[in-house]
């Protein structure tokens, strides 16, 4: 994740492109930021942890377990991430340090959130109570009818 990243623009202009996150190749203190960013923007995880020719990701259990967690979450919302449409951003009302991306699948919507702060945050997302752990992710599935029109945001 860099300050010069423009995921909304790229995902909106080139929706058919399968993008990856290639910024993580070993355990780093900010690994959750990189992986959460990839999760929220629907990027494919692309990591090649390789330790001195003696082993791979099993030598980094924190990283391995977090990958497994995010992959499980992504599979739980498969239809949105793989068969749905990324929606260009709207002016969502979320706390500072919280990022949100919206996906559509038919008349259903899914919102993927990430918290860049180290502390947990609780907030209301248009009538839906949300809790995000520090440096955590979250999702919300709704229908179009449950979510306000763009003019009401």
Looking up tokens 């899914």, which residue turns up? Answer: 110
pLDDT at 30: 82
pLDDT at 2: 54
Ranges of residues in the chain whose predicted pLDDT is under 50: none
pLDDT at 132: 98
Nearest to 39 by CA among 132, 146, 151: 132
| Global confidence as pTM | 0.84
Cα gap 56→64, rounded to integer Å: 10
63-105 tens-digit pLDDT: 889 989 999 999 999 999 999 988 877 788 999 999 999 999 9
């Amino acid at each position: 994740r860099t300050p010069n990243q423009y995921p909304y623009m790229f995902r909106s202009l080139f929706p058919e492109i399968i993008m990856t996150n290639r910024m993580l190749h070993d355990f780093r203190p900010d690994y959750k930021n990189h992986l959460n960013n990839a999760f929220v923007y629907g990027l494919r995880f692309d990591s090649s942890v390789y330790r001195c020719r003696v082993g791979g990701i099993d030598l980094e259990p924190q990283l391995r377990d977090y990958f497994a967690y995010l992959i499980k979450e992504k599979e739980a919302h498969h239809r949105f991430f793989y068969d749905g449409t990324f929606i260009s951003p709207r002016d969502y009302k979320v706390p500072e340090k919280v990022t949100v991306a919206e996906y559509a699948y038919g008349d259903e919507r899914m919102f993927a959130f990430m918290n860049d702060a180290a502390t947990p945050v609780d907030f209301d997302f248009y009538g839906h109570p949300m809790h995000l752990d520090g440096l955590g992710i979250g999702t919300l599935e709704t229908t179009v009818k449950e979510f306000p029109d763009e003019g009401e945001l």
